[in-house]
Amino acid sequence: MNIIITGATKGIGLAIAEKFASEGFNIAINARNADDLKKIKKDFAANYPNVEVLTKKTDMSKKTQVLSFAKFVLSKWKTVDILVNNAGVFLPGEIHKEADGTLESQINTNLYSAYHMTRAVLPKMLKKKKGHVFNMCSIASQIAYPNGGSYSISKFALLGFSKVLREEMKDKGIRVTSILPGATWSNSWKGVDLPESRLMQASDIANATWGAWTMSQSAIVEEIILRPQLGDL
């Protein structure tokens, strides 16, 4: 079984990669930092020796690099069972104050990357009439937060993309799930002075993703909303 996870060297993406590798999935991941990818490949070779790990340095805000990554993976694998569109960037700010180009930057990374990656991978899934696409949305896809600015706009758009894709794929054997996590320990929250229990663990999101995947083909978890027990921050 093969899974592609974009932006998977840290946080939620890495937790999902570790979960699926532990279940025997071959993994294809990308990131902008080549050193991070080398470390992941080394760690996975030690911890999951029977799992194939494909890596490629990729800037997911650039269409040409997104398509290059997809082409690389598809040249190695005949089938793709799962695509997790996880790559994203969070730039806090208010619409009337944020720097010019902030919206474009976050739309490119948080929305267009998922759109182009999905379109590149879908033909493999459609040929098999089976597959699962997970789109890593956010609680910010539903609720406008203070200082959310363009990030929230991009995540609202990603949820819209996911809903449209679900409608288009429902009679073609392809499952589409939107994941909407609240505050989760990742690089975005690095250094925050809060108790560990105040935020969710990345492994919580990974376990929820695995649970949705293991449903029978006649069932689909359309949306997964996860929040810290004590609520949003």
Q: Catalytic residue at 151?
A: yes
Q: Give CA–CA dist 176/126, Å, rounded.
A: 13
Q: Are 159 and 142 in contact (CB under 8 A)?
A: yes
Active-site position among 48, 112, 115, 151: 151
For residue 214, give the 3-state DSSP assignment.
coil
Q: Give CA–CA dist 88/106, Å, rounded.
A: 8
β-sheet with 223-226: strand ranges across: 53-57, 26-31, 2-5, 82-85, 131-136, 174-181, 223-226
- What positions carry a catalytic annotation? 151
